[in-house]
């Protein structure tokens, strides 16, 4: 299996979510950092349909845990190790669908042509207008 980007281990104990679900597992893995809450929720819903347990962290935590950076974006985490490869396949499909829905664009900063799935220019870092 190829090396997975975004794979990480959440070592800390976290409390989050509308139900105050408590996470103590050290094998929870970060699947995807979403651009916003809606995108994160779309991915979680899709994982749900495949019976993969997942959670969104980031936006919930911003006001709840003072020691964490406040600029966290919502991230989707896979709770069960055994779901990881399927979750990653679902993510890949999700991302290619997102990209297909949005037209590619040309950066006003440097003229680079960028796929629709990107909001920042990968060459100069300028934000899409």
Q: Catalog residues that contact Zn ion under the rule CB under 5 A.
A: 107, 109-110, 112, 121, 123-124, 126
Cα distance between residue 64 and residue 13, in whole Å: 14
Helices 37-49 and 84-101: crossing angle in degrees, nearest 10, is: 130
Smallest gap, in angstroms, from Cβ of residue 101 to Zn ion? 22
Residue 85 or 127 with smaller CB distance to Zn ion: 127
Residue 85 near residue 7 (C-beta atoms within 8 A): no
Q: For Zn ion, give the closer residue by CB, 8 or 111.
A: 111
Long-range contacts of 120-127 (CB under 8 A, 24+ apart): none
Minimum Å distance from CB 124 to Zn ion? 3
Query: 35 vs 123, which CB is nearer to Zn ion?
Result: 123
């Amino acid at each position: 299996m190829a090396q997975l980007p975004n794979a990480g281990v959440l070592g800390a104990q976290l409390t989050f979510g509308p139900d105050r679900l408590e996470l103590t597992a050290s094998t929870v893995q970060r699947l995807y950092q979403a651009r916003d809450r809606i995108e994160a929720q779309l991915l979680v819903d899709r994982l749900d349909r495949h019976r993969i347990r997942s959670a969104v962290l980031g936006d919930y935590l911003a006001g709840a845990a003072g020691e964490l950076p406040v600029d966290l974006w919502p991230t989707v985490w896979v709770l069960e190790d055994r779901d990881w490869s399927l979750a990653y396949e679902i993510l890949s499909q999700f991302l290619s669908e997102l990209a297909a829905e949005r037209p590619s664009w040309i950066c006003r900063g440097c003229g680079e042509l960028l796929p629709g799935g990107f909001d920042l220019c990968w060459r100069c870092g300028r934000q899409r207008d």
